[in-house]
Structure 1
Amino acid sequence: NGIKVQVNAPVEEEKIIAALSGNETPDVLVLSGSDNVGTWQREKLIAPLDDIIASSKIDLSDFYPAPLGLCKYGGKFYSLPWGTDTYALFWNKDLFEDAKLDPEKPPLTIEELTSFADKLTIVEGGTVKQVGFIPDFSWSHTDLYLKMFGSSPLNADRTKITLNTPEMIDCLKWQQQFYTKYGADNVLKFTSALGDYMSPDQGFYAGKIAMMVDGEWQPGPNFIQKLKPELNYGVAPFPYPAAHPERKNTNMVGGTMVVIPAGAKDKAASGKLLAWMMSPDIVAEEMAFNYNLPTSKKAAQDSRFHENKKFEVFLNLMGDPNASTWPVTAINAELNTELGAVEEQVLHAGADPAPLLKAAEEKLQPELDKTLGTS
C-alpha cells in the first residue's frame, strides 16, 4: 500500500518485554505462540483488539475456529493467529514391513499404537537398537494425549486447575510405559545418541524410531524433503482410544500470534498493518513459504496447500470439529513449567504421577486465583 514497514526479527523475549514497557513500543508484535498473551493482558502490556478488528474490517468468519479460539481472553480478543501448527502421527513404512506390519495401515487406536510400538522395538543384549514410539520425542505432546484421554488442564471457564484427574494420571502412565518397559535409562541412553532435530540422523529420519508425533512442516522442503528425501513414510491423525471413537481426529492447534502493544502510538496505523497481515493473499504467501497452516479459510484454497497430500492431513485436522487448543490463562508459563517437571519425573524417573499432580495443582491454583481476583 506504499507504506514502509520496518521489521526487526528475531528479537529476544527480554527485549520484547522491555519494549512493551518502554516509550518506543512496536506497532505490531508477532509472537511464536500464545503462552504470554494472558500474562501480558493482565499486565496491560497489550491492547484489546475488538474495536481495531471492527474498524479495520478484519473478517473473523474467515478464520478457522480452532486457532481463533486461542485469541480470546476475558471475553475480548487480545491476539489474532497468523498461520498455525498442528500435529499428527508419522510412521516409517519400511520398519513396519520389517516388523511384518502392513506398511499402508498406521494404528487407528491408542491400543493399536501401543501394540505396534512393541513389535517395532528391538533390544539386543540389553541395548535398545530401535524404538517403536517415544511419546515425548522430540518434545512433550501431553496436550494432545490429554485431550485424547478426555481432559484438559483447566475447567471450562478456566477458573480451576484440573491436573490431578484420573484422565491426566492415565495419560501420564500411558506415556510412562514406553520408558519403563525397556528401562528408562536404556531408552534415555538411546535417545541421547540420536542426531539433532534438523539433521539426517534425527531419530525418525535415521530409521531408529518407527513412529513419531510431529508437525505439518516436516513433509516440506526444509525438513524431510531436504534432509531425508528417500524416507518411505506416511502421515495420519493421531490414534484415538478404542472406547472413544468420537475422539477421532482430535488434534491440538497452536502457533504464531499477532498482538498490538498497549503503548503503540498510532492504533489506527497498527490496525491497518494487522488487517493487511490477516488478508487471505498475505496469509497464503507467508504460510506457503514457511510450510505452515493458513489460518484463513480463503487462503487455504490456494493450490499450493494441496500439492502435498501429507500436508493436507494437517490442513484437514486443523479444520476438524475435534481440533482444540491449550487453554490461555495468565499463568500459562507457570502451568507449563510445573507440568514439564511432573512429566520429567514420571516418564524418565518412573515416579507415581498422582502425588506430583496433586502438589502441582495445589501450587498453581492460588496463583490462578490471584490473577482472577478471587484469592
Structure 2
Amino acid sequence: MKASRFKIVMLLATAILMVFVAACGNSGSNGNTENTQTNDPAAAEEGNGSEETQTEAPKEPVKVIWWHSMGGELGKVVTQLANDFNATHSDIQVEEVFQGTYDESLNKMKASMDAKSGPSLIQVYEIGSKFMIDSKAVTPVQNFIDADSYDISNLEENILGYYKFDNQLYSMPFNTSNPVLYYNKDMFKDAGLDPANPPKTYEEVTNAAKALTKDGKTGASFAIYGWFMEQLFANQGAEYVNNGNGRTASATESQLNSEAGVQTVTWLKELLDSKAALNLGRKTDDTKKAFLAEQIGMTLDSTGSLRGIVDGAKGKFEVGTAFLPRPAGASDGGVVVGGASLWILNNKPEAEQQAAWEFIKYLAEPKTQAQWHINTGYFPINKQAYDEQSVKDNLVNYPQFQTAIDQLHATKLSPATQGAVMGVFPEARQIVEGAMEEVFTGAKDPAKALDDASKAITDKIATYNKTVQ
C-alpha cells in the first residue's frame, strides 16, 4: 500500500516538474528562444499577444580552416580571396593559415590526423596526390560534384587530367603551372639567331647555346631539378614509372634509367662539357638571377615565375618564351602540370566539408580565377576566365604567357602527360637530382647513375607499397 502511494506521489511530482520546465522554456525570460519560435510571423504574434515579436537566434557561420603554402606576395593574394569569399558568405567563414612549404604543411597534416586538430581543407602539391589518396583521410571532390551535378566542362581538361584517378577527381586544382624555355631575345639577335624562332629540340638548344656563348656570357643554365626531368620524360611521351605511370595500378618500378632518361642526362652533360652551359646547382632562383643579370641566354623555369622574370628584365632586355624542348624525332608528348590542388579532409563534420566545397566552387569561378591568374601568373583552371577583360589586358602586358597557354593546350593527354604517380615522389626527386649531380661532376656515367637511382627509387616504392596494402 505504501509502495503504491509512493509511486503515485512520484508520478504527480514528475508531472508538476514537467509543467514547470515547459513554462520556463516558453517564458523567454532566459533569452534562449532557439527552439520556441515559429517561422510564421502571424502565428507568433497571435500566440504571444504582445507587440514585441521574438526573433530566432542567429546561427554561427560554419568555419573552414584552410591550410596553404603560399607565402610572400602569393600569400597576400590568398588572403584577399578568402576575405572576398567571407564578405559574400555570411553562413561560411574561411580562415586561411600559412603552414610553410608543401612538405612542412603535409607533415603537419599527418601529425594532426589522429587528434582531428587539422584543417578542413588543405593545399597539397601535385606529387603528394598518391599519399593523400592512400591516407584514406580525404573525401574526393567527385562526391560533391556528383551530388551537386556540378559542371566541370569549363575546367581545363589537361589540368584535371593530373588529379583524376580511376575517373574520379579527388581534389580540385588550384595553382597550376608548367615549364617553359625562357630566352634573351637581345642576345639572340647579337648572336645572329632569329628571336622569333627559338630552339625546339635538344640539338637546337645546344647549337643556340654555343652561338650565345661569347663576350663573357654563357648560352644556358638549367637547374638540377627533378621536376624538369619529369617534364622532359613527358615531352617525349615516356612514362616515369611502370603500370601506366602508376595510374592503371600502383607503380612498382622506376623507369628513370630508360632510353628517355639516359638520352636526356647525356645531352645535358655534353652541353655542360662544351662550356655552352653553366651548372648553377639545384635552385631555380640561382638560374633566374643569372638570366636576369644577362649572364646566360636561356633557362628553364615555371610559368609561375613568368611575371617576375618579365618585370625583372624590363629596361634591360626582351624576354622570349618557347615550348619545352624534346629530342629530335621524339614521340608526341607534352607537359605535366605542376603546382597544387585542394583536398577536403573527411574527419570533419559533414557541414564543414560541404562549406569547404562551397569555397572550392568559389575559387573555380571565372572571375576568381582571373583575379588569381593576373596576380600570380598561375594558369586559370577555368577556361572562361580568358573571356574576362582583366585577363585579356594581362595578356597584352605579358604576351609571353600565350606560350604557356598554347603549350598546355597542345599537350595530348596520356599516362605520360598526366604525370607519374607514386607515394615516394618527394624522395624520388631528391634521388634524381643526386644522380644528375653525379653525372655532371663526372663521378658516374649517365647509364650507371640512372641505374643506381632507379633501383633506389624502386626500393622506396616497394617499402611504401607494403605500408599501404
TM-score (norm 1): 0.84
Of 152-161 and 175-184, more deviation after overlay is shown by 175-184
Distance 1:174 1:142 in 2: 12
1:101 aligns with 2:185: no
Q: Distance in 2 between matches of 1:223 and 1:20?
A: 39
Alpha-carbon deviations, 1:111-146, whole Å to 9, x = none?
1111111111138xxxxx321122327885212222
Q: Secondary structure at the match of 1:167?
A: helix
Task: Call closer, same or farther: CA 1:49–1:136 in 2, change over 3 Å.
Answer: same
Aligned-partner SS, 2:111:
helix
Contact kept, 8 Å, 1:121 with 1:132, in 2: the verdict is yes
Which residue does the alignment assign to 2:285?
197
Instruction: Report the equivalent of 1:15.
Output: 108
Q: Are 1:6 and 2:99 an aligned pair? A: no
1:253 to 328, 334, 337: 337
Q: Which residue of 2 aligns with 1:300?
A: 386
Q: Any gaps of 5 or more consecutive residues in structure 2?
A: 1-88
2:256 corresponds to 1:163:
yes
Is the alpha carbon distance of 1:245 and 1:116 closer, same or farther for their aligned partners in structure 2, counting shifts above 3 Å? farther
Residues 74-119 of structure 1: CA deviation (Å, up to 9, x unaligned)? 5533212013101211211221122222233212332111111111
1:319 aligns with 2:412: no
Q: What secondary structure, in the 3-state scheme, does the structure 1 residue paired with 2:339 have?
A: coil
Supply the distance in 2 between the matched residues of 1:327 and 1:232 (Cα, whole angstroms).
35
Gaps of 5+ in 1: 124-128
Matched, 1:38 2:130: yes
- The residue correspondences of 1:204-219 to structure 2 (distance < 5 A) are 204-219=291-306
Question: Equivalent of 1:80, from 155, 162, 172?
Answer: 172
State the Cα distance separating 1:151 from its structure 2 match: 1.6
Change (3 A) 1:25 1:74: farther
Q: How many equivalent pairs are there?
A: 359
Partner of 1:338: 431
Q: Would the aligned equivalents of 2:224 and 2:433 in 1 still touch at CA under 8 Å?
A: no
What secondary structure is seen at the aligned counterpart in 2 of 1:117? helix
Residues 365 and 347 (structure 1), Cα distance of their counterparts in 2 relative to 1, 3 Å cut:
same
Return 41-50 or 283-292, whichever deviates more. Answer: 41-50
Deviation at 1:243, TM superposition (A): 2.0
SS at match of 1:122: coil
Larger fraction in helix: 2
1:148 paired with 2:241, answer no
Hey, what does 1:126 align to over in structure 2?
none
Partner of 2:324: 238
SS in 2 for 1:259: strand
Q: 1:204 & 1:44 partners in 2: Cα distance?
A: 44
RMSD after superposition: 3.0
Structure 2: how far apart are the matches of 1:58 and 1:274? 12
Deviations 1:16-73 (A, max 9, x none): 3333443222121123x21222113222233322212222443222221222122134
Of the two, which has the highest radius of gyration?
2
Give the alignment partner of residue 115 of structure 1, picking from 193, 207, 211. 207
**Do the aligned partners of residues 350 and 90 (structure 1) sit closer, same or farther apart at CA in structure 2, a change above 3 Å counting?**
farther
Question: Corresponding residue for 1:66?
Answer: 158
Secondary structure at the aligned position of 2:255 is classed as: coil
| Residues 192-221 of structure 1 deviation map (CA, whole Å, 9 limit, x = unaligned) | 8xx99399x81111111101112324442x
C-alpha distance in structure 1 between counterparts of 2:372 and 2:170, whole Å: 22
Query: Which amino acid counterpart does residue 65 of structure 1 have in structure 2?
Result: E
Give the conservation status (yes or no) of the 8 Å contact 1:172–1:353: yes
What is the deviation of 1:285? 1.8
Look up the SS of the partner of 2:150 in the other structure.
coil
Say if 1:73 and 1:333 are closer, same or farther in 2 by CA, change over 3 A: farther
Displacement after TM superposition at 1:10 (Å): 4.1
Task: Assess if the C-alpha contact under 8 Å between 2:203 and 2:327 holds in 1.
Answer: yes
Q: 1:271 aligns with which of 357, 364, 374?
A: 357
1:47 maps to 2:136: no
Structure-2 change in CA distance of 1:341 and 1:46 (3 Å): farther
Identity %: 21
Deviation at 1:245, TM superposition (A): 7.7
Which residue type is aligned with residue 356 of structure 1? Answer: A
Q: How big is the shift at 1:169?
A: 0.6
Q: The residue matched to 2:400 in structure 1 has which SS?
A: helix
Aligned AA for 2:299?
M
TM (norm. structure 2) is 0.69
> Offset of 1:358 from its aligned partner?
2.1
- Give the Cα–Cα distance (whole angstroms) in 2 for the partners of residues 172 and 206 of structure 1: 27
